Structure 1
């Protein structure tokens, strides 16, 4: 279905996207970051928090490391501000890159089981499908952030995968 090289490229893309995003977020006032925008996770910061929470929960499943605690309903309040969010974003991006670098194609074959708090049960799906979901979830919520940034009058990050720098 996918290869380890795919996961590694997507981890690089994730890092590049989040690196750009940090610059745009830090240029906003706290009022702009926390303003209710009618998005599923409310504000720009709420959506950025949910994105970070989602990355962290999936990484804890993949690498068996520490997870974020809480569930989807609490995810928009993961970090109270950017001062808390920025270093945690870097930490989870580094963890994602390290995990992806450790994969080989064989790792992506076969089932993957985790406990889903949303389903209140163990769930088993193909590992490759879970990895695709992980990266797709990031892209989905960064698209929401892109829209909200545009609404603030800000420019938004370049998001085209084909423009991923060689050394992102």
Structure 2
């Protein structure tokens, strides 16, 4: 079992890293952001959309809130600034939600039906929250590779270098 404070730290890291990614993305023109670069979700823009999709899907399951999502692989937002605003809002939702996490909720089981394969599954919630943060990190790693292919460096990405705020 992971203590709630760990997830609060992950939420801060998530918001910090997303801010760094979106800052770099704001320096790119829309054509480059949306160009198919051979990534799993093809482009920088679509990968950003997918990370938001995943967070909305999991946070909806965790909180019962009805977040707008589309089928996996379909961009939620075409406009970069609208996507950025939605990302900022989602990061704040995650920060607020993790601040109220407790052991009883993290130790219970959650049952959901996957939108990708239609199967119903149950798993302990702390593992699912850990998965949500791992999913974000996985796809941010893909983005940093796409950035480096363009000669861009987002700077330090390791949690120990995160400024404490």
> TM-score, normalised to structure 2's length?
0.95
1:106 positional shift: 2.2
Does the Cα contact within 8 Å between 2:50 and 2:73 map onto a contact in 1? Answer: no
Does the Cα contact within 8 Å between 1:113 and 1:123 map onto a contact in 2? Answer: yes
Does the Cα contact within 8 Å between 2:56 and 2:69 map onto a contact in 1? Answer: no
Taking only aligned residues, the RMSD between alpha carbons, in angstroms, comes to: 1.1
1:128 positional shift: 0.9
Comparing 111-120 with 94-103, which one deviates more in the overlay?
A: 111-120
Match for residue 19 of structure 1?
19
1:95-138 Cα offsets, whole Å, 9 max, x none, are 10111011012221021111211231321011111011000000
Residue 62 (1) aligns with residue 90 (2): no
Helix, strand or coil for the counterpart of 1:123?
strand
1:15 positional shift: 0.6
Match for residue 45 of structure 1?
45
2:145 to 144, 147, 154: 147
Does the Cα contact within 8 Å between 1:112 and 1:124 map onto a contact in 2? Answer: yes
1:4 positional shift: 0.4
d(CA) in 1 for partners of 2:57, 2:46: 16
Match for residue 162 of structure 2?
164
Match for residue 96 of structure 1?
94
d(CA) in 2 for partners of 1:62, 1:157: 32
Does the Cα contact within 8 Å between 1:146 and 1:157 map onto a contact in 2? Answer: no
